[in-house]
Structure 1
């Protein structure tokens, strides 16, 4: 019901609930909800993504290029894939820019597109010191990838 202030005004002018429901083609219960003391005057409906947006932001902060199905697996996404895909598409550019800016500031090597590379002009890779390596827990995907890689190399 999007016209709640109008319904409140009509009721204050003396119109009954039945009359208002007939004129606006809504149910009498919808009019009663609009007239309730704790009713919101603006139309609001919770978004399907509202609850999961912080979790998606956390994943994108760590892995800005992660695919949508992998994100869905990590956050236990219960809705449609399209809804999540739209949310990730809206949020991802912010995290990719931040990731590239942090990599440039810290001197990390960034992946270059093939057309920017020329023969004989490759920068020397920076050597990592022990202090530069982050120790953290591995995700399920990383453990799976590592075990599959070891199986392939030992075969």
Structure 2
């Protein structure tokens, strides 16, 4: 955000909070925060993607080919889809070596949706019975 060491130097040189704020194009409260004892040298706040990274890693470890929209449901993502998509694109190569057979079965997955959890059940897949086209057309 603002160069906090420079703000401190200006204040030690006798600059007023209002004058420093005007010169640095910062708010007076930003200057006050920079001057507080024990203030960090630089301002940093974790992004939503950084906070969700452990949960996304857990989902990708179990389901490496899961779509971004399904991952969003699993981790209860409430922010921009683009940010989650970028995070998944960055993390997915670490888990691509796993195959579908290595992943956990989908029965009993817990998903978060607006703070509520519910169970998703997936039944076994079955292919329809194929009949011989010649037998079907000749009735026999």
TM-score by length of 2: 0.72
- Structure 2 residue aligned with 1:138: 108
Corresponding residue SS for 1:41: coil
**1:55 match:** 55
Q: How many residues align?
A: 119
Pairwise CA RMSD of aligned residues? 3.0
Compared CA separation, residues 135 and 63, structure 1 to 2 (3 A): closer
Structure-1 separation of matches of 2:22 and 2:106: 63
Q: Which has the higher contact order (CA 8 A, sep 6+)?
A: 2
Whether the 8 Å CA contact 2:64–2:95 is kept in 1: the answer is yes
Q: Which runs of 5+ in 2 are unaligned?
A: 110-118, 129-140
Instruction: Give 3-state SS (helix, strand or coil) of 1:14's partner.
Output: coil
TM-score by length of 1: 0.66
Give the Å deviation of 1:137: 5.8
Once the two structures are TM-superposed, the CA of residue 135 in structure 1 deviates from its matched residue by 8.6
- Cα pair distance change 1:12/1:73, threshold 3 Å: same
Cα distance in 1 between the residues matched to 2:53 and 2:105: 27
What's the offset of the Cα at 1:25? 1.7
Cα distance, 1:50 vs structure 2: 2.0
**Which has a greater percent of strand?**
2
Separation in 2, partners of 1:136, 1:69: 16
